[in-house]
Amino acid sequence: MTSFNQKQEQLWVDDIPLATIAQNAGTPVYVYSASAFTRNLKEFSSAVQGIDHLIAYSVKANSNLAILTLLAKLGAGADVVSGGELERALQAGIAPHNIVFSGVGKSKEEMQAALSANHGTGICQFNVESEPELIALSEVATAMGKIAPVALRINPDVTAGGHEKISTGKAENKFGIDINLAREVYRNVRDLPGVEVTGVDMHIGSQINSLTPFEMAMDKILELIKALRFDGHQINTYDLGGGLGIHYHDDSDIPPLPSAYGAMVTKKLKGKGLKAIFEPGRAIAGNAGVLLAKVKYIKSGGARNFLILDAAMNDLIRPALYGAHHEINPVNAKSNHEKMTYDIVGPVCETGDTFAVMREMPKMQQGDLVAISSAGAYGAVQSSEYNTRPLIPEVLVSAKQYAVIRKRPTIKDILEREDVPSWV
């Protein structure tokens, strides 16, 4: 089931034709489906209902306040990696005791903010990635007269993830503490004031399309948990991170469904006395959004046919950065049944500003709309104003209603943030 469907030869998002949104909000624009977010979250949580768990949605995937508010109302927690994301999660009404704080470089100010959340009761847990960070957290918490709940992020040394840039669980990656040093570092936590062990954390990569790396990592971490308990630590939580892939296109390896992932995890954790924390990002947001763009020009006659869109790499950088494949479909299916092969590009002055190479699709015309699929995760959040192109708006659709949930700034707004000192 999907929220983006063909009806009356038009592409719709739930009960609204995408063309209506283009007309009213302009293009390029991100369009999200509330029903898709809801369905994805429910599907994930029912997949793991057999075990005590928390779903801490990974805010970095799509951090719009409206999206976070929607997920908060459905009971989601949050995985945050900065003071800014923490602020968003709190403003959206996510309960602080359902927030975990991840990331390799937390500042002391960010630690303070997380310890002060909820009138001082603080967040669920800090996922600590190194000994120096642990010492900093101990200092901050002690100065505030608080005890920070800590899980150490352990690097289990497994290969996972759809692309080397988003693989995080190998020993040579910057993330986590080497699994061979884990027992020693846990001993140090016990000796430090202001910090208390709650559990163990891992996150091995993103867009993982097989269960095997998760299973391998879990086996290693569960062994470690046994050893840590033997050493006298109270290990109550096991944060498995995120990483479950989504279906981007038919020719790629199709990732396991949340139900298969959930069944595997449930089997491994049942009866182990652990609360599982999950940090899915892409699995919740990825297929809940499209990037809606317009064909500005069609350049033909040379080596290639170029479809030049009004969207560019600054709006959706995944193809340029990771060589990622996103399906691109005409919004109006009626336009033509004749097929053409296009390089689909944006207006930014770089050859890398390419969404697709030699892509076969129905013959397009200037002014036609296209929907770039699976753009709900790591789309808007990774956009920039490169080439002084204003950030594009985001629209949320719920059944028959829709709203702009992030406005398109004007060029004036952009320039007003800058200053020219008198001595220039």
Q: Which residues contact ligand LLP (rule: CB under 6 A)?
A: 58, 60-61, 79, 102, 166, 203, 206-207, 241-244, 279-283, 318, 322, 377-378, 382
Let me know the angle formed at the C-alpha of 92 by 4 and 244, rounded to the nearest 5 degrees: 50
Q: Which amino acid is at 59?
A: V
Nearer to ligand LLP, 64 or 207 (CB): 207
Count Cα neighbours of 72 within 13 Å in the Cβ-side half-sphere: 20
Residue 245 Cβ, how far from ligand LLP at the closest point, in Å?
7
Q: Are 394 and 32 in contact (CB under 8 A)?
A: yes
Nearer to ligand LLP, 85 or 368 (CB): 85
Nearer to ligand LLP, 15 or 215 (CB): 215
**How many angstroms separate the CA atoms of 88 and 84, rounded?**
6
Which of 349, 415, 420, 424 is catalytic? The answer is: 349
**How many angstroms separate the CA atoms of 419 and 151, rounded?**
43
- Residue 350 C-alpha from the chain's centroid: 26
The torsion of the CA quartet 278, 280, 284, 289, rounded to 10 degrees, works out to 160
The CB-based long-range contact list for 175-182 (8 Å cut-off, 24+ gap) reads 175/104, 175/129, 175/203, 176/129, 176/152, 176/201, 176/202, 176/203, 177/129, 177/130, 177/131, 177/152, 177/153, 179/154, 179/155, 179/220, 179/221, 179/224, 182/152, 182/154, 182/224, 182/228
Nearer to ligand LLP, 122 or 205 (CB): 205
Nearer to ligand LLP, 176 or 330 (CB): 176
Whose tokens are 């999907």? That residue is: 2
Instruction: Return the axis-axis angle of helices 83-91 and 65-73, rounded to nearest 10°.
Output: 50
Nearer to ligand LLP, 137 or 331 (CB): 137
20 exposed, middle or buried (CB, 10 Å; 0-12, 13-18, 19+)? middle
Nearer to ligand LLP, 93 or 323 (CB): 323
Residue 60 Cβ, how far from ligand LLP at the closest point, in Å?
6
Residue 180 Cβ, how far from ligand LLP at the closest point, in Å?
21
Q: Which two tokens stand for residue 56?
A: 């801490």
Q: How many CB atoms lie within 10 A of CB 45?
A: 19
Residue 87 Cβ, how far from ligand LLP at the closest point, in Å?
18
Residue 207 Cβ, how far from ligand LLP at the closest point, in Å?
6
**How many angstroms separate the CA atoms of 389 and 317, rounded?**
14
Residues 6 or more apart whose CB falls under 8 angstroms from that of 145 comprise: none
Could you give phi then psi for residue 149, rounded to 5 degrees? Answer: -75, 130
Shortest Cβ contact with ligand LLP: which residue? 242
Residue 332 Cβ, how far from ligand LLP at the closest point, in Å?
28
Q: Annotated catalytic, 124?
A: no
Residue 205 Cβ, how far from ligand LLP at the closest point, in Å?
7
Q: Give catalytic residues, as residue numbers.
A: 349
